[in-house]
A and B are shown apart, each in its own frame.
Chain A
Amino acid sequence: GAGVSQTPSNKVTEKGKYVELRCDPISGHTALYWYRQSLGQGPEFLIYFQGTGAADDSGLPNDRFFAVRPEGSVSTLKIQRTERGDSAVYLCASSLGQGAYNEQFFGPGTRLTVL
């Protein structure tokens, strides 16, 4: 596609529910990143995929958060037993590779609200 796309754009859920957030990276980009942006804060790194594998998941806050990228393209961020503190904008980015000079391109984000 022309850019990184994310669905849904907005998600409202109740505390304790399970949610899935989807990211479609730019075609041909092997590296994919998830970030979380809380209100008034900058984006914070969650997880990075190189191809199908999670190369670095050190930013995931706890074991309720999980992400997959089974075919090395689309990625899904999964949150179990959502809590009000999970409310944030979840941003996805992709890049051609993971080198020092590869620029990350960001999607529009999914705004998650946990009631």
Chain B
Amino acid sequence: KQEVTQIPAALSVPEGENLVLNCSFTDSAIYNLQWFRQDPGKGLTSLLLIQSSQREQTSGRLNASLDKSSGRSTLYIAASQPGDSATYLCAVKIIDGSNYKLTFGKGTLLTVNP
């Protein structure tokens, strides 16, 4: 059974710092990996999606990498801002029987202090 782990569970940094969030998964047979942002009481906003054949994706100050063979992904946030404060979730797409499913980690709660 695929398991997704995110470390750390919570992170607090001063504004302007660069930071890295980690995601690991137990089964490397994934189709893609996706990073989401979730603000308190809100739904999920997709940040970056990396296909299994890709190594990284970039969007603005965000860079996500994928090492499928080792079961790891990192989300790098450059020059963090208070508006980046949110929970960041990692999810992998797997096939279960004949259906594709997302398996999520528990998330990292990020606080960026002004």
* Cβ–Cβ contact A42 & B99, under 8 A: no
How many A residues have CB within 8 A of the partner chain?
28
Q: In the assembly, what is the distance between CA of A44 and CA of B105, in Å?
A: 10
The stretch of A14-22, A78-86, A103-111 in contact with B is A103-111
* Cβ–Cβ contact B43 & A42, under 8 A: no
Indicate if A55 sits at the interface (CB-CB under 8 A): yes
Indicate if B58 sits at the interface (CB-CB under 8 A): no
Kindly list chain B residues whose C-beta atoms are within 8 Å of the C-beta of A91.
43-44
Indicate if A48 sits at the interface (CB-CB under 8 A): yes
Q: In the assembly, what is the distance between CA of A105 and CA of B43, in Å?
A: 10
Q: Closest approach, in angstroms, between the C-beta of A55 and any C-beta of chain B?
A: 6
Q: In the assembly, what is the distance between CA of A56 and CA of B4, in Å?
A: 21
* Cβ–Cβ contact B93 & A100, under 8 A: yes
Q: Name the residue of chain B whose CB is nearest to the CB of A110.
A: B43
Q: In the assembly, what is the distance between CA of A43 and CA of B42, in Å?
A: 13
Indicate if A40 sits at the interface (CB-CB under 8 A): yes
Indicate if B76 sits at the interface (CB-CB under 8 A): no
B 72-114 to A, binary, CB cutoff 8 A, 1 in contact else 0: 0000000000000000010101011101111111110000000
Q: Name the residue of chain B whose CB is nearest to the CB of A59.
A: B101
How many B residues have CB within 8 A of the partner chain?
28
Q: In the assembly, what is the distance between CA of A43 and CA of B36, in Å?
A: 11
Kindly list chain B residues whose C-beta atoms are within 8 Å of the C-beta of A109.
42-43
Q: In the assembly, what is the distance between CA of A93 and CA of B71, in Å?
A: 25
Q: In the assembly, what is the distance between CA of A45 and CA of B93, in Å?
A: 12
* Cβ–Cβ contact B44 & A106, under 8 A: yes
Kindly list chain A residues whose C-beta atoms are within 8 Å of the C-beta of B33.
none
* Cβ–Cβ contact A42 & B4, under 8 A: yes
A 1-18 to B, binary, CB cutoff 8 A, 1 in contact else 0: 000101000000000000
* Cβ–Cβ contact B46 & A43, under 8 A: no
- Determine which of A40, A43, A48, A56 lies in contact with B104 in the assembled complex, contact meaning CB atoms within 8 Å: A43
Binding site for B on A (CB under 8 A): 4, 6, 33, 40-45, 48, 55-56, 58, 91, 93, 98-109, 111
Across the A-B interface, the 8 shortest Cβ-Cβ residue pairs: A42-B104, A108-B43, A106-B44, A100-B31, A56-B99, A106-B43, A109-B43, A42-B106
